[in-house]
A and B are shown apart, each in its own frame.
Chain A
């Protein structure tokens, strides 16, 4: 965000020059998020199946408070919900990492874009909550 010469020195990256550090961090974030979500869904789903729950039974709707309670009670459905939340939150976390990375380098334009993407996701959350 800085317009100082020092800020410009880091932010005035010529076109075509890739910040491998930022892209590498984001790649690791995506990988870790994906692995965590797969493990949570696999363990939770397998536990549900072993417990006799069938997928075509009437399922509960998402409730964040209930998810926390299920997790504290070590109920498998809590793991499945958490896995779904991690799946859906990982891309947003990637954008947040981009926001921090670009802002740190003084790239106001890209930082603003990342912030706006997060804002649109926020609108999606509000849209979902209003229709719930």
Chain B
């Protein structure tokens, strides 16, 4: 069979799988191209980054239209993830590719472990279906959730310990908004403007600093970097999970494209491979986002964990140079 069609089909399956499970296609593209087609890890990462940018663009548009993604917060944190992406892109060409394979194996083991943990959580099984169709093209967004894109409570629902309480909302309400306030109107601070009704963004400095590592991981492994971004926003900065997932998806475009530009200009992206693979991932992710609510994910998840463990084993072999 034609290799190009095989890559298109492989990309399609990776995109579909990733979309159904709320994972990014990137986590499957790199092993597909290295183990399946014998591409060097670095070239596979470059192609994966292109696929990740393409699929996130489509879903981020929907998240913005539905007013789920926080554009201001996303743009602010992009500054740091993009900086990390430049660093990671430069490092990727400076280190032995076997280290990249080893890091990827660790990532896959982590994702497999997280999926098993998520499946054990009884509350997750009762999660309502999401309102958001596009899959989160991020390897983290729904790792702990049972349904793809089921990113926890809605924006309006308080999230235990992280969402804004009435008192917290009062804290971000500028004096000009307070009825009967005797003080003159004042400009809200930059950080206050990152907040939205229903939640308050906090610990911005810490979140910004850790975002740099999300960019580095994205650039080194060809994933969206959401495995770091979503926990940063949700657990550290107090953003509801659903918003964090959508905002992370929005940020993937800049994070992954910044490092992909480095790969492109350094000859790390093969156009013959990138074309069919990226189109396949896009089509698969699109189909997955439209059919996720009809699919029983329990068996699929178990299968996916098995695939992750097998590919982690193969990437480890690649890393230590076993034939």
Contact = CB atoms under 8 A, between A and B. Distances in A.
- The B interface is mostly helix, strand or loop, or mixed, namely helix
Size class of the A contact interface (CB-based, 8 Å):
35 or more
A12 B273 CA distance: 48
Contacts of B274: 41, 80, 84
A36 to B, nearest CB: 10
Interface in B253-288: 253-254, 257-267, 269-276, 278-279, 282
A81 to B, nearest CB: 6
A120 B259 CA distance: 11
A127 B76 CA distance: 22
A18 interface: yes
A129 B270 CA distance: 17
B67 A30 contact: no
A62 B264 contact: yes
B57 A91 contact: yes
A14 B275 contact: no
B172 A30 contact: no
A2 interface: no
Interface string A63-101: 000000000000001001101100111111011001000
A110 B79 CA distance: 11
B273 A120 contact: no
Contact of A90 (B57, B276, B279): B57
- The A interface is mostly helix, strand or loop, or mixed, namely helix
Contacts of A88: 50, 53, 257, 260-261, 264
B7 interface: yes
Contacts of B72: 110
B177 interface: yes
A87 B75 contact: no
B261 A128 contact: yes
Greatest chain B CB density within 10 A among A24, A80, A84 is at: A84
Interface in A35-59: 37-38, 41-42, 44-45, 48-49, 53-57, 59
A117 B80 CA distance: 8
A6 interface: no
A26 B71 contact: yes
Contacts of B89: 124, 127-128
Interface of B: 2-5, 7-8, 37-39, 50, 53-54, 57-58, 60-62, 64-65, 67, 71-72, 75-76, 78-79, 82-83, 85-86, 89-90, 93, 172-174, 176-177, 185, 187-188, 190, 192-197, 253-254, 257-267, 269-276, 278-279, 282
Interface of A: 8, 12-16, 18, 20, 22-24, 26-28, 30-31, 33-34, 37-38, 41-42, 44-45, 48-49, 53-57, 59-62, 77, 80-81, 83-84, 87-92, 94-95, 98, 107, 109-110, 113-114, 116-117, 120-121, 123-125, 127-129, 131-132
**Which 7 pairs show the lowest CB-CB distances between chains A and B?**
A128-B265, A45-B275, A91-B253, A61-B267, A34-B57, A30-B61, A27-B64
21 contacts: A15-B172, A15-B173, A16-B197, A26-B71, A27-B61, A27-B65, A30-B60, A30-B61, A34-B57, A42-B275, A45-B276, A55-B273, A59-B271, A87-B50, A88-B260, A94-B254, A95-B254, A109-B193, A110-B190, A125-B265, A129-B265
